[in-house]
A and B are shown apart, each in its own frame.
Chain A
Amino acid sequence: MEWESYYFLSKSQSLEIGFPSIRLTATHGTSLLTSAFSLPFSPLFRTSLNTHNSGKTRLLQLFSDPNQLFLVSILKFNKLIMQKHLFLGVEAIGQGAIDGGMSGVYSYPGTPSTEITEFIQENPLAEERNIHRTWTANEKTALETALGMSYAGKRAMSCMKHVGLNVAADVFINAAMTGVNGGLIVTVADDPSMHSSQNEQDSRFYGKFAMVPVLEPSSQQEAYDMARDGFALSELTKVPVMLRITTRLAHSRAGVARKDVLPENPLSMPANPRQFILLPAIARRKYKGLLESQNLFLKLSEESIYNRYEEGAEKSLGIIACGIAYNYLMEHYPNGTCPYPVVKISQYPLPENHINRMDQECDEILVLEEGAPMVEEMLKGFFAKGTPIKGRLDGTLPRDGELNPDLIAKALGKEMFSGYAIPEVVANRPPALCMGCGHQDAYVAMNEVLADYSKGRVFSDIGCYTLGALPPYETIFSCVDMGASITMAKGAADAGLIPAVAMIGDSTFAHSGITGLLDAVNEKSSITVVISDNESISMTGGQDSSAFGKIESICIGLGVDPAHIHTIVPLKKNHEEMVRLFREEFAYNGVSVIIPRRECIQRASSRKRNKG
């Protein structure tokens, strides 16, 4: 039997447990979100009670701790209730945020974070509460808007993929300085092994850099709990809280038990009217405050229910397992059979109490973390004295790529049956542009004209059209970060590579292409910008593009000569016309914009399906 959920009570208040709708009134106190202590406690009493919804008896036990706080836990009785919601990690976060009293989610899509916002967009309670949930132009505008909602006292979340936080880094770091009013959660989804990304940067470094608490769930249930209770943690610590997940947790399903739906915060102004003014004199004070708060953040980590020290008799090795790595470890030791002491970490800053204890008790320490060896580096230090630390830096685990149960088995010296080899006949099956996609027609026409020039003149960007780097097109020669096609083309033209061409999608243009185009217009650079407009954010599943219907007017507004802005439908029948346009504008000595526009066929068919 497993204990299903824990509730923390302070003595004076009353408690209501929403899911599975047990009401325990006027016992002792309400939830103290991130916990104020850790297990185990001695049971105070046990009792049974009936749940309202199923009529099944559940066992309830109360524990007490020296601080006179009470912990209630409910014995898992009926797995069906436990599994009521089979949520993806991203869905669990969406539900948790709604149930946590969030008033607005502000996001720009990016795998593996996209479905958090999509879940909220389709959720009936979010609709009923009129929670803000439209996509923003990019991650910076998203997080800034969320901070504005927090300023006004309400709870907000901003979701993005890891590289999105690079875009929003300015506001993220400075929001740690201003602090929050309403709770603010920044949910960042990392993609180790780069399943759908340009790099595998580890967002925990940003959390450490900004000096804010970071939550890293090991399970879908924790993802739900952290999203729900993270707002209050943010309000308690008065800074934004980062919720960091990785691809596997984001896109894996498991049973999640919901808790009470909390009310939204009312509109309220910051108590200190200067809280958000980072003028140097004020900022210096704020920074000292942030530094002082580190003690509180550490204490909360040390006492967090998400972090714990698990006893083990075999002290030759101690294992520190962060986030989802904990599950991969436990895969090899079902039902608490791990012989080694384990520190489970799902809340940062690092809980020093648990780590110091491990350092004292164990001969060696193995660090398991998804992403970069952040914790490992911190423990190892520069001179690598003291307890030997094993992990990604000494080759016990690979330096890059995501973890899995096999890599961890190997690190523990476990022998496993390694399966059958992949036969040689198996060919790679890389992703490809869909048959009939408009980007293809643009590339075919472009290639015909580019044959007259030396190779390597087309800079591109991020989206479905990036697949134009692969055969049969091989048209483009860069894909770096959103918007870089236009600016890199300009830089290359400045260097003398004329003409230089930028190939960018409509959403990427709206995200970060506009400012670069303004630079090019101001300097009359010899570049041709191809905005391949499929009226959708397709790479991430067909969301609404914020530049929809506005691209020509944006370009004219930036000062592009209207005589050099052309729109064409990328279809075979218009091939000759497209070739003519490319030829003329490549030869033009100035900024020109060509907009091949045809709706993404996937988006068109899902639109028709939803209508039918």
Chain B
Amino acid sequence: MKSDIILAGVGGQGILSIATALGEAALADNLLIKQAETHGMSQRGGAVYSHMRISDQPISSDLIPGGAADLILSVEPMESLRYLPYLSETGYLVTNITPFVNIPNYPDIEKVMEEIRKLPRFIAIDADTIAKEVGSTRASNMVMLGAASPFIDIEFSKIEDGIRTIFGRKGEAVVNMNLEALRRGRQFAEENK
């Protein structure tokens, strides 16, 4: 088993919460992990990404080679495109469709969506709206994880356990909301893949 995943977003959007939940799931599944993160200057509203590698075999490189990612999981539509050189021929792109506009030259969102739709395999999901429906826009990253989960070779129940572990401290209501967010994301992807 091997999943090479690029996580993408904008500094401050909290893509690392997705990595943490996935990391917990992978650990519970007895898998090996390497995960390169972006720290430092670009966290100040710049483009941020993480290379997450999960495997049952030893992993050498901390970085995913170009053209080798099984999945690009982006919480922002334009950012999803920035990492296309990493996507493999059979890879999936899963992205939130809500733009994060903090630059004056942000492109026309329709043009961005057009580029996404050109790909052979993608899921474009309105994670913010779904998150609002389950209780809070804060759960939007877990909607995204749910939407990506069909393309990650980890048992879904392990991902649910991961969420229980990381949100456990915050009480049952928060756990349940995030689990619901996860399931709704997954359901959307299953119906639209």
Contacts and interface: CB of A to CB of B under 8 A. Distances in A.
The answer on A and B forming one complex is yes
Interface stretch (A176-184, A252-260, A512-520, A562-570): A252-260
A2 B58 contact: yes
Given A248-B62, A253-B34, A539-B41, A334 B57 contact: yes
A323 to B, nearest CB: 12
Given A419-B67, A425-B107, A83 B81 contact: no
B39 A416 contact: no
B81 A423 contact: yes
A284 B106 CA distance: 63
A416, A426, A434, A539 pick with most chain B CB within 10 angstroms: A426
Contact of A416 (B27, B30, B51, B66): B66
Given A196-B40, A425-B81, A426-B78, A83 B65 contact: no
A469 to B, nearest CB: 13
Given A425-B115, A426-B78, A327 B62 contact: yes
Contact of B33 (A86, A111, A423): A86
Interface string A399-421: 00000111001000000111111
Interface in B77-110: 78-79, 81-82, 84-89, 102-103, 105-108
A159 to B, nearest CB: 15
A455 B22 CA distance: 51
B61 interface: yes
Contacts, number: 166
Given A327-B61, A331-B65, A425-B81, A79 B32 contact: yes
Given A418-B85, A419-B85, A421-B85, A254 B66 contact: no
Contacts of A417: 66-68, 88-89
A225 to B, nearest CB: 17
A449 B67 CA distance: 52
B44 A434 contact: yes
Nearest to B63: A404
Interface of A: 2, 79-80, 83, 86, 88, 111-112, 114-115, 195-196, 248-255, 324, 327-331, 334-335, 404-406, 409, 416-423, 425-434, 464, 467, 539-540
B61 A328 contact: yes
A418 B86 CA distance: 7
Contacts of B67: 416-419
Contacts of A420: 84-85, 87, 119
A419 B103 contact: no
Contacts of A248: 36, 62-63
Nearest to B114: A425
Nearest to B55: A334
B37 A253 contact: yes
17 contacts: A83-B27, A112-B39, A195-B40, A251-B36, A252-B35, A253-B33, A254-B62, A328-B61, A329-B60, A331-B61, A418-B85, A419-B86, A420-B119, A426-B78, A431-B41, A431-B43, A434-B44
A156 to B, nearest CB: 25
B46 to A, nearest CB: 4
A429 B47 contact: yes
A255 B32 contact: yes
B62 A252 contact: yes
Given A196-B40, A422-B81, A324 B32 contact: no
A330 B69 CA distance: 17
Given A83-B33, A409-B65, A426-B81, A115 B27 contact: no
Given A419-B84, A419-B88, 14 more contacts: A114-B39, A251-B36, A255-B33, A328-B61, A330-B61, A334-B58, A404-B61, A405-B63, A416-B66, A422-B85, A427-B105, A428-B103, A429-B103, A431-B45
Contacts of B46: 429-432
A158 B8 CA distance: 33
6 smallest beta-carbon distances between A and B, as pairs: A196-B40, A417-B67, A111-B40, A331-B61, A419-B85, A431-B46
B14 interface: no
* Interface-central residue, B44, B68, B87, by most chain A CB under 10 Å: B44
B42 interface: yes
B169 interface: no
B138 to A, nearest CB: 14
State the main secondary structure of chain A at its contact with B.
Answer: loop
B111 A425 contact: yes
Contacts of B27: 80, 83, 86
A249 B85 contact: no
Residue with the highest number of chain B CB atoms closer than 10 Å, among A88, A327, A420: A420
Contact of A328 (B32, B63, B111): B63
Contacts of A252: 34-37, 51, 62
B189 interface: no
A418 B66 contact: yes
B38 interface: yes
B159 to A, nearest CB: 16
B10 interface: yes
A420 B119 CA distance: 9
B32 A423 contact: no
A576 B179 CA distance: 52
A79 B81 CA distance: 35
B7 to A, nearest CB: 13
A61 to B, nearest CB: 20
A428 B58 CA distance: 35
A435 B88 CA distance: 37
- Of A114, A253, A330, chain B has the most CB atoms within 10 Å of the CB of A253
A423 B115 contact: yes
B38 A328 contact: no
A253 B35 contact: yes
A404 B64 CA distance: 9
A416 B62 contact: no
A335 B56 CA distance: 13
B185 interface: no
B112 interface: yes
Contacts of B41: 111, 195-196, 431, 539
A233 B188 CA distance: 56
B60 A422 contact: no
A419 B87 contact: yes
B162 interface: no
Contacts of B82: 422, 426
A255 B39 CA distance: 19
Contact of A251 (B38, B61, B79): B38
A112 B112 CA distance: 33
B23 interface: yes
A411 to B, nearest CB: 13
Given A111-B41, A429-B47, A86 B60 contact: no
